[in-house]
Amino acid sequence: MSLSEEAAAWNCSACGGALEIVKVGFTYMKGNFEVDLPACRACGLVLVSEDLATGKMADAERILEDK
């Protein structure tokens, strides 16, 4: 499933708005990162999928902590 298809499949749990793909900023261990993720434009709630959290983000966390 593509990122845009994933966003279309969800509504915001806080306000009920539709999710759209937006650039989201993350800060971790003094590093700043921008990632395209599904988010609600109305209230700013961001959807981080389980696959992303336990996959790519967990890998990046381990790499940064090893430095």
Q: Which residue has the higher pLDDT, 11 or 9?
A: 11
Q: Which residue has the higher pLDDT, 26 or 60?
A: 26
State the CATH number of the domain containing residue 52.
Answer: 3.10.20
Helix (H, G, I), strand (E, B) or coil at 24: strand
- What total number of domains does the chain contain? 1
**Integer Cα distance of 8 and 65 in angstroms:** 34
Q: Does the reported pTM lie above 0.75?
A: no
Other CB atoms within 10 Å distance of the CB of residue 51:
10
Mean pLDDT of 40-65: 82
- Domain housing 29: 3-66
